[in-house]
Amino acid sequence: MWNWILDRMMRDFVKVGTFVLTYPDGTRRTYGDGQAPKIEMTFHDKALPRRVVLSPDMALGEGYMDGTITFAEDDLDGFLSLATMNIARADEAWWRVLSARLHKVRRLFDQWNPAHRARANVAHHYDLSSTLYDLFLDEDRQYSCAYFADPSMSLDAAQRAKKHHIAGKLLLRPGMRVLEIGCGWGGMALTLARDYGVEVLGVTLSEEQHRIATERAKAAGLQNRVTFRLQDYRDVTGQFDRIVSIGMFEHVGAPHFREYFRHVHDLLTEDGVALIHSIGRAHPPGHTSPWIQKYIFPGGYCPSLSEMAAAVEHEDLYPTDIEVWRLHYAETLRHWSARFAAREQEARALFDERFCRMWRYYLKAAEVTFRYNRQCVFQFQMARRQEAVPLTRDYLYPADASARHHAAE
């Protein structure tokens, strides 16, 4: 019965490319339009058809982790690309509609992140061995989307470009007080203090990140201008000239969006400016993959533009600029995936084969989602007063602005 149901699902699902599936009993079925790309997948566990029917994301991710799902020539990248391209075209398939409705019921529970739960969720991912992140991140440990202002940029150069692009949007002046919500391993805060002369308070819920960031500030001689606290953003008090948050909003959870922006509003000075950088979706509101929810980012959710904008509006913040980065994260993840693959033996020594397969699946699945399924990055600049930022974007691109002005003359 389960083979028959899965066969029906696959016929509805695969419209682009060619997908060959070998079932556990040896039955071989071909789906799609017969065109390239062609992917061959084999199930080695008789329970897999039932599991895939009931929860495709979870079953496929766990099957790859456990080695009970294999691909011809181990072409995980090809499979994920083909699957994601078809996912982008399969919103009306009956089983996709049913799955979305079921996940919508669970959404509030999965994304309910009070302080104690937020700490546990952060520890699940960010308190893994710090050595793991050295295997694939840039020299500054930027674990968020890089900015490839030039496609030929190295990962390190693109991450530096990201930091300075964001700094430009913050309109910094020496001596300003800056709050960073979700400071990671401290790279952004240290850059702002060193290169822009500001004072930074960075908060994180990760003990490992807090320890390393504090050590880095001391080693750089910036401990008098940069402070890192192991603290929930909801517990921060005082007011700040600028607030920056990079790659943290994805961990807030939809039930807390207004609460988050209420704190941003209250922590900003009257003329303050905030820049929130977050993964988002160019789709209506949705849900997080159950596999990602369980293994990678518990409590995580990438918001739609409409969800972010509604929360900003309701908390009396003025959106002064919204920028959408489309393929920058796909390129960032391509670099991360290649770097991880080159040092996978070291990751295996830290963890085990199953962990390495999980991490490989995560990085590649994330890349193809940005490349083929309308995942992007939003940069929301906002203020309490619309006059807090210049009327045009010329301040971000002074050389370009000068050229345009001369041309106009």
What pLDDT, in 10s, does the model give residues 387-403? 999 999 999 987 654 44
What is the mean pLDDT of the segment spanning 106-113?
Answer: 72
Cis preceding-peptide flag for 37 (omega within 30 of 0): yes
Q: Quick check: 101 pLDDT over 70?
A: no
What whole-number percentage of the chain has pLDDT above 70? 92
pLDDT of residue 405: 40
Q: Quick check: 95 pLDDT over 60?
A: no
End-to-end CA distance of the chain: 75
Please check whether residue 333 is in contact with residue 367, taking contact to mean a CB–CB distance below 8 angstroms: yes
Q: Quick check: 169 pLDDT over 60?
A: yes
Higher pLDDT, 95 or 191: 191
Nearest to 280 by CA among 259, 300, 258, 299: 300
Residue 313 carries which side chain, given as an amino acid letter? E
Looking at residue 304, the DSSP 8-state letter turns out to be: B
**Residue in this structure with the two tokens 């009257």, named with its chain if needed:** 270
Give the separation between CA 205 and CA 319, rounded to whole angstroms.
27
- Using pLDDT thresholds of 50, 70 and 90, give the confidence band for residue 408: very low
* Apex 192 CA angle, 187 and 193, nearest 5: 100
Return phi, psi of residue 226, to 5°: -130, 125
Cβ density class 324-335: b for 16+ within 10 Å, e for less: ebeebbbbbbbb
Domains and their CATH numbers in the chain: 2-90 (3.30.1050), 115-327+372-405 (3.40.50.150)
Name which of 81-90, 231-240, 325-334, 348-357 the model is least confident about: 81-90
What are the CB-based long-range contacts (under 8 Å, 24+) for 261-266? 261/311, 261/312, 261/314, 261/315, 261/317, 262/315, 263/233, 263/234, 263/236, 264/181, 264/315, 264/317, 264/382, 265/315, 265/316, 265/317, 265/384
Give the separation between CA 331 and CA 371, rounded to whole angstroms.
9
